[in-house]
Amino acid sequence: MITTTAEYALRATVFLAACDSGTVSREEISSATQVPMDYLVKVMKMLDQAGITQSQRGPGGGYRLAKSAEDLSVYDVVAAVSELPRIETCPLGIAEHINLCPLHARLDSVAALTESAFRETPLSELVPRKGGKSNCSFPKSV
């Protein structure tokens, strides 16, 4: 449903949202979220460019969210690093299906619902709760 890049962006931003301490190093983000360092650097650059995160260079540097987790949606994060796929051609490959065929229309409506759900879900809903059961958890180290 979403790309690996979008998944990694969500892992990183949810982790940043859970951290109360200013900037977080890329090493800490990579370790906690199990996102490979090379991939994380690429993802964080895209998130910075989109205004989702802010980076600080030098000693004590790292990353932090540019806005509160309540003000960022899952859609904001996903759209910053990849496109959400929409159905633009007939999934059956029938050239005569210029307008939406029944299958095309149903698949496109599912994509629209997914996009809507992402827009309506603030990042804060994915942040693990302190002292209680987590909404989400990060993958365990292998």
Q: In this structure, what token pair is assigned to residue 90?
A: 């007939």
Domain residue ranges of the chain, discontinuous segments joined by +: 4-84+122-126
State residue 53's pLDDT score: 97
Bridge partners (DSSP) of residue 24 are 63
State residue 142's pLDDT score: 36
State residue 135's pLDDT score: 53
Those residues with Cβ within 8 angstroms of residue 106's Cβ, 6 or more apart along the chain or in another chain: none
**13 neighbors 77 (Cβ within 8 angstroms):** yes
In angstroms, rounded to a whole number, what is the distance separating the alpha carbons of residues 64 and 47?
10
Q: In this structure, what token pair is assigned to residue 4?
A: 């690996």
Backbone angles phi, psi at 24, to 5 degrees: -125, 135
What CATH class has 4-84+122-126?
Answer: mainly alpha
Q: Average pLDDT by consecutive 10-residue portion of the chain (142 residues)?
A: 93 92 91 96 97 92 94 97 79 69 81 94 88 55 42
